[in-house]
Amino acid sequence: MATAIKKPLTAAQFKKKVVQHLNFTSSQTDYQQDPTAVLRAVCLTVNEVVYEKLTETNQYHKEHKSRSINYLSLEYLMGRMLSNNLHNLDLFDVAQKAVASLGFEIEDIFEEGHDLALGNGGLGRLAACFLDSLATMDFNAVGYGIHYEHGLFKQQFHQGRQIETPDEWREYGNPWEVCRPEAVQNIPLFGHVETIANTDGSVQKVWHSGQTIKGVPWDVPIVGYNSKTVNVLRLWESRASSHFDWDQFNSGAYQDAHSAQNHAETISKVLYPNDETDAGKELRFIQQYFFCACSIKDIIKRYQEQYADDWSQFSKQVVIQLNDTHPTIAILELMRTLIDEQGFTWSDAFAMCREIFAYTNHTLLPEALEKWSVDMFERVLPRHLEILYTINEFFLDQEVAALWPNDHQMRRRLSIIEEGPQKMVRMAHLCVVTSFKVNGVAQIHSDLVKSDLFPEFNQLYPSKLTNVTNGVTPRRWLKACNPELSKLLDSKVKSDWAKDLSSLSAVAKFADDEKFQQKFMAIKHNNKVKLAEEILTSTGVVVSPDAIFDVQIKRLHEYKRQHLSFLHILALYRRLLADPDYDMHPRVYIFGAKAAPGYYLAKEIIYAINKVADKINNDDRINGKLKVVFMPNYRVTLAEKIIPAADVSEQISTAGKEASGTGNMKLALNGAITIGTLDGANVEIAEEVGDDNIFIFGNTVDDIKALEANGYNPYDYYNNDEEIKACLDWLLTDYFTPGNPGELSAVAHSLLDGGDPYRLLADFADYAKANIALDNAYKDKARWARMAIINTAKMGKFTSDRSIQDYVDNIWKLTPMSSQD
């Protein structure tokens, strides 16, 4: 394997540094019983290497005036950093030895680390994978986000119900971040706009803000794998800009003295869980503005350090990617800065923004498309709203009118402002109008963005809408999380597959090799044994590693249809009760999912699964053929344990609803077989692995449209499918909740009287059929092993390195460090 970068430390040197940090940084001499202290010392040791590389990276890009990509995202789901950083620096073995000589297992040290859970799900994890790829591929990149005091809530179950508790990821500090006081920003908000008439007849706008918030940057280094680069993720923390008022405090007004400070610090206090009910939440809006304003000021500061007041190179040096519409205010903030502070004309400022911003869409769900009320916009950001109006006016009068003259319907439909009892700003429209590229995240999703979401925009700007299929980093999602499989792959693949994932296709030729199959499946079995232990610890349920491990891990949402799998579990249970010899290989259903705290039905689905699981897991009549576990507190670290042990990957969203999915890629990469609909990236996974190596079922996007055109009626399925009827009726009894009939009825009601909005019943029969095919395939060991190997071998397309290369080639137009030499 090619290792271009020399190991920076030997095990002996590493150990010496760890001990030095224990003694002199933490004043710990008695660390034998203190893995937390060792973790900290190991991190500090790694940081010595990391920060040296960071300095070199910065110097290089300064000297070479490299164009930079600035990734703006409200979320980064980084997970733990240590194992990943050790792998990426090729220091894993060194650290393992050093730590062993201090009397610790490296895995136990990792377990002391906290997840950086500054995100909800796929969107935040995608941002983390992209940062890993950008550093690995030596691109000049900065990630910008918020330094939330509390990331995504921790989940526990109390009698089957989800309980949320705050995430305390940095309660006692985070060794990976460094504060940068030299890059603090002051951010105005509220207030009013004054119009000043100049003597030459022109007018000037002056924004008199009502409050100023301080933005304090914390940098988390992002270490490339076997590369020269360490980039940074810069996270903004909000603080009060004025100092604590001692006079007020001394005069007894403790509350008031604190209140300004509290208000300011609230902004970065907590990550919003995406319950789609954020609309109208002023604090969320201010979070978005705060981090956009800090980031735009920082981007300009970095530029001016090189070019001072020469703006001619700005759009050549800077590209900004908006991760969904959450950072859209960055467009208005840059416009405002250029016009009000740098003396640009409106059209020059707008032209410049149109060269700088690109936007990624992650959803077609109408309720998830962001809108903010004009009233709130005006109150918080009066000047930005004025600028927004001018953009809208230009767009409607110059561009819409040119293609559709006098078409008022079209103006209404495309306007950035939605008319109605309460005027709303359509953030996605602002993004599409101003960005030079708009991309979806899988081919089918991007096609639907063009045909269904923004068809008129696609007519107006024919080359703007494009696709970049998502990807995942093979460093975290194979090399680090599945070390045994990684070693097996190393033995068969000559090049460094972690950097060139398509080279894994070389193992396809061993798919029928009996010895290789045995090795591959033995590794899967070992991983299942480890997961079974984890399941026992976290749920108290004993599961057999000889059963099929069937995994559904993702946020809980009706469109993802955890309740489809749930309904099928009820059907299997029923079949087993009717016939204990019912022919099926034992199966363990493993769920991991957080429900947004305000999402009632999602929480009811969790409860129902837990209650049914209780009953099934303790029912001797079914001979352990079926087990169901809901693992609490699903997060990156748990995913790293579940994914290597999965046999089956459930990707069963309603066709057209899951933009891409990325768990599907991680699971297939680790040799799990997908059972899924033709949705999101499943379509492309099926193309890569071939029809024989995936179980596709259900209605397609077109089928669903046809079903709806004919008037979808869930009772058609209920009345005509005895199994569906029996399972839904079962939920109305007290079979799973003795003494409390109807406790699980919410799920049944949503599927019947609720109209089954995600067309679950229409897919049930075909899903059940696909499961029988899957069960048969598993019973043929050689066939299953072959399928699993092919899945791993054919995932080359889904490395986030390929996604990044697509962005670079088609959108960002960057040159990496090495090719600039």
Q: Which residue's structure tokens are 């399925």?
A: 717
Q: Which of 368, 410, 508, 765 binds ligand BZD (CB under 6 A)?
A: 368
Cβ burial of 526 (10 Å; 0-12, 13-18, 19+) is middle
Supply the minimum distance, in Å, between the C-beta of residue 596 and ligand BZD.
9
Q: Which of 554, 561, 625, 786 is catalytic?
A: 554
Nearer to ligand BZD, 438 or 727 (CB): 438
Annotation marks residue 36 as catalytic: no
SS3 state at 480: helix
Catalytic hit among 666, 759, 786, 802: 666
Please count the other Cβ atoms lying within 10 Å of the Cβ belonging to residue 503.
17
Q: Which of 87, 560, 627, 635 is catalytic?
A: 560
The site string for ligand BZD over 95-134 (x = CB under 6 A, - otherwise) reads: -------------------------xxxx--x--------
Phi, psi (deg, nearest 5) at residue 590: -115, 115
If you search the block for the tokens 């993004």, which residue do you land on? 431
* Shortest distance (Å) from residue 448 CB to ligand BZD: 12
| Cα 69 from chain centre | 19
Going by their DSSP bridges, the two strands 371-373 and 68-72 should be labelled as unpaired
Question: For ligand BZD, which stretch binds (CB under 6 A), given 144-152, 521-529, 652-660, 797-805?
Answer: 652-660
Selected from 73, 328, 637, 662, the binder of ligand BZD by CB under 6 A is: 662
Active site residue 326: no
Tell which residue, 514, 457, 597, 493, has the closest CA to residue 152.
597
Question: Counting contacts by CB under 6 A, is residue 661 touching ligand BZD?
Answer: yes
Which of 95-103, 566-574, 613-621, 656-664 is the region at the interface with ligand BZD (rule: CB under 6 A)? 656-664
- Has 666 been annotated as catalytic? yes
Q: What's the CA angle centered on 799, arms 798 and 802, to 5 degrees?
A: 95
- Whats the size of the chain, residue-wise? 821
Q: Does residue 361 bind ligand BZD (CB under 6 A)?
A: no
Minimum CB distance to ligand BZD smaller for 123 or for 535: 123
β-strand pairing of 424-426 with 417-418: antiparallel
Q: Which of residues 129-158 bind ligand BZD (CB under 6 A)?
A: none
554 is catalytic: yes
Among positions 540-569, residues that touch ligand BZD (CB under 6 A) are none
CB of 470 to ligand BZD, least distance (A): 5
Query: Please, which residue, 535 or 553, has the CB nearer to ligand BZD?
Result: 553
- Cα(787)–Cα(809) distance, integer angstroms: 33
DSSP-assigned states of every residue in 33-45: T-HHHHHHHHHHH
Residue number with the shortest CB distance to ligand BZD?
122
User: Closer to ligand BZD at the Cβ: 177 or 679?
Assistant: 679
- Residue 668 as a binder of ligand BZD (CB under 6 A): the answer is no
* Closest listed residue to residue 68, CA positions, set 139, 135, 118: 139
Q: Does 560 participate in catalysis according to the annotation? A: yes
774 contributes a contact to ligand BZD by CB under 6 A = no
Phi, psi of 597 (to 5 degrees): -55, -30
Q: Is 658 in the site for ligand BZD (CB under 6 A)?
A: yes
Per-position x/- string for 314-353, each x denoting binding to ligand BZD as judged by CB under 6 A, each - no binding: ----------------------------------------
Query: Minimum distance between the CB of residue 123 and ligand BZD, rounded to whole angstroms?
Result: 3
The rounded distance, in Å, linking the Cα atoms of 209 and 382 is 9
Three-state secondary structure string covering 553-600: ECCCCHHHCHHHHHHHHHHHHHHHHHCCCCCCCCEEEEEECCCCCCCH
Stretch that binds ligand BZD, among 130-138, 610-618, 654-662, 666-674 (CB under 6 A): 654-662
What is the smallest separation between the CB atom of 489 and ligand BZD, expressed in angstroms? 25
Shortest CB 75 distance to ligand BZD, Å: 6
Q: Is 413 a catalytic residue?
A: no
Task: Please spell the DSSP secondary structure of 280-340, one letter per residue.
Answer: T-HHHHHHHHHHHHHHHHHHHHHHHHHHTT-GGGHHHHEEEEEESSTTTHHHHHHHHIIII
Interacting residue with ligand BZD among 216, 441, 572, 696 (CB under 6 A): 441
According to the binding rule CB under 6 A, does residue 660 interact with ligand BZD? yes
Helices (H) and strands (E) in the chain, counts: 34, 25
The DSSP line for 111-174 is HTSPPEEES-SHHHHHHHHHHHHHHHTT--EEEEEE--SB-SPEEEEETTEEEEE---TTTT--
Residues catalogued as catalytic? 362, 554-555, 560, 662, 666
Per CB under 6 A, residues contacting ligand BZD are 120-123, 126, 274, 362-363, 368, 441, 470, 658-662, 680
